[in-house]
Amino acid sequence: MRLSKPAKAILAILSALTLVYIYTPIGVVLINSFNASKNMSWPPSEFTLHWWQVATQSAGMLSALATSILVATASAAIALVLGTLLALAMSRYKFFGKQPVSLMVILPIALPGIVTGIALNNAFRTILGVQLTIATLIVAHATFCIVTVYNNALARLNRMNKTMEEASADLGAGVWTTFRLVTLPQMASALVAGALLAFALSFDEIIVTTFTASGGVETLPIWILNNMFRPGKAPVVDVVAVVVVLISVLPIYFAQRLTVAEKTR
């Protein structure tokens, strides 16, 4: 199959339009965060830094930011440990029930968020009789974050040369020493990438969060949701939305760089 020049041009134009479609709404939010108008009117007639100033002075917003960072860090840390252990088991051993296990890891993100949310809400409140707190929120987030670390670690482990580990053992290194000095250094960048993705996934999650956080726990996405419908709040919400995008996209960007750098090496 050889594509004609016009066919290629049409494909290029459609691709460009798709990118415009993908970036316009996010661009609108970014521009609106500088829009002097209070009610998101387009096109902006005047620009201002006022809303950014208001946002940085909002105590509610700052405490929500701190909560989000705490939850995302804790969930990523738990996911890092559990995902790495599971990836090591899946890549280096054969065992009964391997298939169901791989399904079980992706289930928390494959099922609609509302199912995960209500299942955990029900388990905490009805079955265990536990009050919703920041801890229940972290448990919930860690559960669906495991898969990002697991996927990254597994992909790396499958590409790694197993003879190095065997050589290490033959030279007398113990199991732990081999892991620490041979396996871990080779998979470190994949683990960092996985943990960064887990952080980002947790940082902007909203659906499971609304079901597993108590009323007093306000993450940044919940802050946005609570303020979005309030009159006159739109410009400040725009600012916070831009901040949320930056904080979640930057880790992804670095994670991507880490994995790409590894592949091309």
- Region 50-89 residues binding another protein, contact defined as CB under 8 A: 81-83, 85-86, 88-89
| 47 phi/psi in degrees, rounded to 5 | -115, 150
**Part in contact with another protein (CB under 8 A); list of ranges 27-35, 50-58, 156-164, 185-193:** 27-35
The CA-CA-CA angle for residues 113, 114, 119, to 5°, reads 105
- Please choose, from the candidates 238, 245, 214, the residue with its C-alpha nearest in 3D space to the C-alpha of residue 224: 238
User: Does 185 contact another protein by CB under 8 A?
Assistant: no
Supply the minimum distance, in Å, between the C-beta of residue 23 and another protein.
7
Work out whether the CA dihedral 80, 81, 86, 88 comes out positive or negative. positive
List 73, 225, 226, 233, residue binding another protein (CB under 8 A): 225
- Please choose, from the candidates 195, 157, 190, the residue with its C-alpha nearest in 3D space to the C-alpha of residue 258: 190
Supply the minimum distance, in Å, between the C-beta of residue 203 and another protein.
8
User: Does 18 contact another protein by CB under 8 A?
Assistant: yes
Give the three-class secondary structure for 38.
Answer: coil
In the complex with another protein, the residue whose CB is nearer, 189 or 197, is: 197
User: Does 139 contact another protein by CB under 8 A?
Assistant: yes
User: Does 112 contact another protein by CB under 8 A?
Assistant: yes
List 153, 190, 211, 239, residue binding another protein (CB under 8 A): 211
Those residues with Cβ within 8 angstroms of residue 8's Cβ, 6 or more apart along the chain or in another chain: none
- CB of 89 closer than 8 Å to CB of 150: no
Cis before 6 (ω within 30): no
CA separation, residue 95 to residues 40, 90, 146 (Å): 57, 8, 20
Encoded tokens for 57: 């002075």
In the complex with another protein, the residue whose CB is nearer, 69 or 252, is: 252
List 6, 25, 216, 231, residue binding another protein (CB under 8 A): 25
Supply the minimum distance, in Å, between the C-beta of residue 10 and another protein.
8
User: Does 48 contact another protein by CB under 8 A?
Assistant: no
User: Does 157 contact another protein by CB under 8 A?
Assistant: no
User: Does 152 contact another protein by CB under 8 A?
Assistant: no
In the complex with another protein, the residue whose CB is nearer, 62 or 182, is: 182
Supply the minimum distance, in Å, between the C-beta of residue 47 and another protein.
16
Work out whether the CA dihedral 216, 220, 224, 230 comes out positive or negative. positive
User: Does 158 contact another protein by CB under 8 A?
Assistant: no
